[in-house]
Amino acid sequence: MKKLSIIIPVFNEAETIQKILRFIAVLPLHWEKEVIVVDDGSTDGTSEILEKLNQEAQSFIYVKHSKNFGKGRAIRTGLQYVTGNAVIIQDADLEYDPFDYQKLLAEFEKGNKVVYGSRNLDTKTERGYFFYFLGGRLITAICNLLYRSHLTDINTGYKLFDAALLKNLNLEKDGFEFCEEVTAKILKKGIPIKEVSINYYPRSFQEGKKIKIKDGLKAIETLLIYHFGKKEL
């Protein structure tokens, strides 16, 4: 049986981490599941919850950072523990629905090495904050212009990769700009990215949304750097 490695980068998600782990545990898949939770220096009680859950059930691999380094670093840490055939990134904030794994895996099984779950393929999908939606579309448009791609949502939280491919990308970005780095490196290798429509349930700042305007600027900078500056990918 093929194995799906699920990397969950976590920072201050005490309200949602148990729910997302429960969802994944009961998720009906024809793949074996390997769950890797990386606590990126949480200070709100998330660490204590994860430690207790891990001691009680040991149903996931638990790794803890000494401080908050960023989503990209947490994903790189999780990648060190991956033993599966494919890797999916799962945010811990419940904005994305694990039942959509099937859609991404179906395309992976057709031979696509990289599959993104897009929030913009279906006009009925919720958009969240309007400026976030516009910012995401702008960043995606810049990516398409620089890398001659036709993507609709490079900042989606659902990205599925061939495990060997992801491990060999020499990832280095620590923050949310992981999305731009991994997309740029894949496209520069000439590997197509397949998109499928997914569900999306945006949360508010009050509920813990963390991305800021500066993250958008870093995202654009990253696309430019890997297009014009970085030669060895």
Phi, psi of 32 (to 5 degrees): -70, 145
Q: Does the pLDDT of residue 125 top 70, yes or no?
A: no
pTM of the model: 0.89
Tell the burial category of 199 from Cβ atoms under 10 Å away from its Cβ (0-12, 13-18, 19+): middle
Q: What's 72's domain CATH number?
A: 3.90.550.10
Give the range among 35-44, 45-54, 97-106, 115-124 with minimum mean pLDDT.
Answer: 115-124
Give residue 121's pLDDT band: very low, low, confident or very high (50, 70, 90).
Answer: confident
The domain total for the chain is 1
27-81: per-residue pLDDT in tens?
999 999 999 999 999 999 999 999 999 988 778 999 999 999 999 999 999 999 9
Which pLDDT band holds residue 137 (cuts at 50, 70, 90)? confident
Task: Give residue 205's domain range.
Answer: 3-229
Using the predicted structure, report yes or no on whether residue 129 has a pLDDT greater than 60. no
Q: What angle do CA 121, 126, 127 make, to 5 degrees?
A: 85
Helix H or strand E encompassing 46: helix 46-57
Of 84, 86, 68, 61, the residue nearest 8 (C-alpha): 61
DSSP 124-174: TS---SHHHHHHHHHHHHHHHHHHT---S-TT-S-EEEEHHHHHTT-----
The pLDDT-based confidence of 233 (bands split at 50, 70, 90) is very low
- For 166-219, write each residue's pLDDT tens digit: 999 999 999 989 999 999 999 999 999 999 999 988 755 444 445 667 877 889
d(CA 63, CA 60): 10
Neighbours of 125 (CB within 10 A): 17
Helix 178-188 and helix 71-79, axial crossing angle in degrees, nearest 10: 60
pLDDT at res. 44? 94
